[in-house]
Copies of this chain bind each other. A is one copy, B any other.
Amino acid sequence: MPEEQVDGRRRVVIESLSPQIDYGRFAIKRVVGETVVVEATVFADGHDQVACQLLYWRENDEAVQSSPMIPVGNDRWRGEFPVLNVGRYEYTIEGWIDRFKTWRGDLIKRIDAGQDVHIDLLIGAQIIQDVAARATGEDADLLRRCVHRLRDKNDNESRKNAALDVELLNAVQRYPERHLVTQHEKRLAVVVDREKARFSTWYEVFPRSCSPESGRHGTLRDCEAKLPYIASMGFDVVYLPPIHPIGHTFRKGKNNSVSAQPDDVGSPWAIGSEEGGHTSIHPELGTQEDFKKFISSANGYGLEVALDIAFQCTPDHPYVKQHPEWFRTRPDGTIQYSENPPKLYQDIFPLDFESPEWHALWIELKDVVLFWIKQGVRIFRVDNPHTKPFSFWEWLIKEIKEKYPEVLFLAEAFTRPHVMYRLAKIGFSQSYTYFAWRNTKQELTDYFNELTQTELREYFRSNLWPNTPDILPEFLQVGGRPAFMIRFILAATLGASYGIYGPAFELCENAPYQSGSEEYLNSEKYELKHRDLDSAWSLKDLIARINRIRKQNLALQSDRNLRFHSTDNPSLICYSKANEDLSNIIIVVVNLDSIHAQAGWIDLDLNSLGLDAAHSFEVHDLLGEGRYLWQGARNYVELLPESLPAHILQVRRWVRTETDFDYYL
């Protein structure tokens, strides 16, 4: 027996709804003002025409809105809806047999074949009468008049005309029948973030190195004084490593030595001392008041402050005494320190997420985040999220964003791909990437095609870092100043979001701790630094220029639009970004060789750029100021690592109008 509750007459089926992540288990991501383009395969048995529509609503909002879907071939249908507010939206689609359209399409064929359509017109009258019952106002009148005309036995020509009237068609479509409708079995979610989730420019700085005097521990106030410098380079996020009290038990000395000297300052990631834990500020940096002032001052410069969340404790952290149940105890009664055997990190106690008291631990850690939100922080860079359970982060981020949907989380997970992608799925707004280790044309092309042209783009937002305090890539170690220029240009143009660890980056600091290591020599992680920010060697002007270009060109503020173009030289990489209406097109060509000049021919995919081979177009190098007249796909470039390792070309097209030649962007 058919199950009673199922109406076997629902004939429309809906398959392969996209986008959806793991069959709706996770939300896709968008930012405010974007649209969600939804596709599905929708069909029914037989020859009847189907119709479908997209349904969407803000989460917890009763008002369901609908949007039409149109067929795009092979039973695929497409619709879209805008996301205008930060928060969560949901969407699904529904389909039904379109009786009117089926009837109308068949009627045209019958009339064309010269068949008697007397009965068919009566069938149509019945369908339209049903629509009229749902219609209101003028539409209802129009429909009723039409029913009357279709039933008029005396005037066959007039009946046919009435049936095929486009106004009738339009009126009927305003009252979809939705008879025996099939709704897709899943409601899919979109997390809508503010624009910064997609387009952001980060600068990491250690406040304690911001002292104007060499040798003195810098403070938040010193760091505040550097804000104009940071802002002048065009950054919009200033990210501080942990600002909490630093433990002294097993403190690491300079260059990560196991025995610290009395004046060694320790690592900011060794959190917790008698002076407090994750909600305290290291006394040498200043007070909560200083921090609030820092935030407010940063905001004045157009900078947001991102704080580090590193959920780990030193042996001196208050939690160790207050909540020993949150740590794992060894058979000798000591607390288990961090390890990645054979490496031991005796200065760090990991939190035990398998503790029977996991529940209280989760609440406490959420309270830490809420504490800093109350101080004004809206962006968190999360340290090693992949060493805490995925379920914890999923819960934490959902809880926080329910109340503060504007909060963003950057996942600092440098680990296996599936782990990194899972963190993005469960809610991290942005993610560090493997960019630091992708140097060749093939490596960059493969990786960025994966990030921007596969399903990943629905939930994994990359944030590209050419360096971090933990990563001085080999390419930067060996390639001199041009290597820093090249990697910076790649980060800032391949990624709508990128960041640098400064001032180490702009000053081109490139000495590794030892050969084969990616650690910095005399790393700022373990000691204070004092630097000359006005060095002629500094890349600050290049950085400022490129950040200006990013702000002025919408094309560079998104990653979905990335497209690679062929070149005949393996050291030359060429890619473009364009905004949706192609009014802003940027073509970037980078010489990946930091030593030699490289020249060659690029081969543009003109179609993707809306250019035609028959007309020339001007490209204006926003970086080098040159202007070149190009035509067709194949064009020549020559790039010198020392002076001009890249072109950032804006396409300008001449078009002929009726009266004149117009110059437009």
Question: Footprint of B on A, CB under 8 Å?
Answer: 1-2, 6, 8-11, 13, 15-16, 22-23, 41, 43-47, 74-75, 105-107, 109-110, 112-113, 115, 119, 122-123, 126, 180, 330-332, 334, 339-342, 344, 353-355, 358-359, 362-363, 386-392, 395, 416-419, 422
Q: Are A45 and B332 in contact (CB under 8 A)?
A: no
- Contact partners of A362 in chain B: CB under 8 A: 2, 8
Q: Are B74 and A416 in contact (CB under 8 A)?
A: yes
- Contact partners of A8 in chain B: CB under 8 A: 353, 358-359, 362, 389, 391-392, 395
Q: Are B112 and A353 in contact (CB under 8 A)?
A: no
- Contact partners of A113 in chain B: CB under 8 A: 341-342
Task: State the Cβ distance, A150 to closest chain B Cβ, in Å.
Answer: 11
Known: A74-B418, A418-B43. A11 touches B119 (CB 8 A): no
Q: Are B359 and A75 in contact (CB under 8 A)?
A: no
Q: Are B9 and A389 in contact (CB under 8 A)?
A: yes
Q: Are A11 and B389 in contact (CB under 8 A)?
A: yes
Q: Are A75 and B387 in contact (CB under 8 A)?
A: no
- Contact partners of A44 in chain B: CB under 8 A: 389
CA distance A408 to B188 in the complex (A): 37
CA distance A98 to B209 in the complex (A): 44
Q: Are B43 and A416 in contact (CB under 8 A)?
A: yes
Q: Are B9 and A353 in contact (CB under 8 A)?
A: yes
Nearest neighbor of A115 in chain B, beta-carbon distance: B342
Q: Are B342 and A110 in contact (CB under 8 A)?
A: yes
- Contact partners of A422 in chain B: CB under 8 A: 13, 15, 43
Known: A9-B354, A119-B330, A354-B9. A341 touches B110 (CB 8 A): yes
CA distance A386 to B122 in the complex (A): 28
Known: A74-B418, A115-B342, A416-B75. A45 touches B10 (CB 8 A): no
Q: Are B2 and A395 in contact (CB under 8 A)?
A: yes
As for how many copies of this chain the complex holds, the number is 2
CA distance A20 to B434 in the complex (A): 31
Q: Are B390 and A45 in contact (CB under 8 A)?
A: yes
Q: Are B353 and A43 in contact (CB under 8 A)?
A: no
Task: State the Cβ distance, A258 to closest chain B Cβ, in Å.
Answer: 14
- Contact partners of A43 in chain B: CB under 8 A: 416, 418-419, 422
- Contact partners of A388 in chain B: CB under 8 A: 45-46
CA distance A74 to B419 in the complex (A): 10
CA distance A331 to B46 in the complex (A): 22
Q: With a 10 A CB-CB cut-off, give which of A105, A330, A355 has the most chain B CB atoms.
A: A330
CA distance A126 to B332 in the complex (A): 12
Q: Are B75 and A340 in contact (CB under 8 A)?
A: no
CA distance A504 to B416 in the complex (A): 60
Nearest neighbor of A391 in chain B, beta-carbon distance: B8
Q: With a 10 A CB-CB cut-off, give which of A16, A331, A339 has the most chain B CB atoms.
A: A331
Q: With a 10 A CB-CB cut-off, give which of A8, A11, A106 has the most chain B CB atoms.
A: A8
CA distance A10 to B353 in the complex (A): 9
CA distance A635 to B41 in the complex (A): 44
Known: A75-B416, A422-B15. A341 touches B392 (CB 8 A): no
- Contact partners of A339 in chain B: CB under 8 A: 106
CA distance A339 to B16 in the complex (A): 30
In order of increasing CB-CB distance, the 7 nearest A-B pairs are A113-B342, A122-B331, A23-B23, A106-B341, A109-B341, A75-B418, A46-B387
Nearest neighbor of A389 in chain B, beta-carbon distance: B11
- Contact partners of A122 in chain B: CB under 8 A: 330-332
Known: A2-B359, A9-B389. A123 touches B330 (CB 8 A): yes
Nearest neighbor of A10 in chain B, beta-carbon distance: B391
Nearest neighbor of A182 in chain B, beta-carbon distance: B391
Task: State the Cβ distance, A426 to closest chain B Cβ, in Å.
Answer: 9
Q: Are A418 and B41 in contact (CB under 8 A)?
A: yes
CA distance A74 to B418 in the complex (A): 8
CA distance A416 to B43 in the complex (A): 10
- Contact partners of A359 in chain B: CB under 8 A: 2, 8
CA distance A330 to B117 in the complex (A): 12
Nearest neighbor of A422 in chain B, beta-carbon distance: B13
- Contact partners of A2 in chain B: CB under 8 A: 359, 362, 395
- Contact partners of A342 in chain B: CB under 8 A: 109-110, 112-113, 115
- Contact partners of A340 in chain B: CB under 8 A: 47
Nearest neighbor of A123 in chain B, beta-carbon distance: B331
- Contact partners of A107 in chain B: CB under 8 A: 341
Task: State the Cβ distance, A627 to closest chain B Cβ, in Å.
Answer: 45
Q: Are A354 and B13 in contact (CB under 8 A)?
A: no
Q: List 15 interface pairs A-B (beta carbons < 8 Å), by A numbering.
A: A2-B362, A8-B391, A9-B389, A10-B389, A11-B389, A41-B418, A45-B387, A74-B418, A75-B419, A107-B341, A109-B341, A110-B342, A113-B341, A113-B342, A119-B330
- Contact partners of A355 in chain B: CB under 8 A: 9
Task: State the Cβ distance, A399 to closest chain B Cβ, in Å.
Answer: 9
Task: State the Cβ distance, A50 to closest chain B Cβ, in Å.
Answer: 11
- Contact partners of A10 in chain B: CB under 8 A: 389, 391
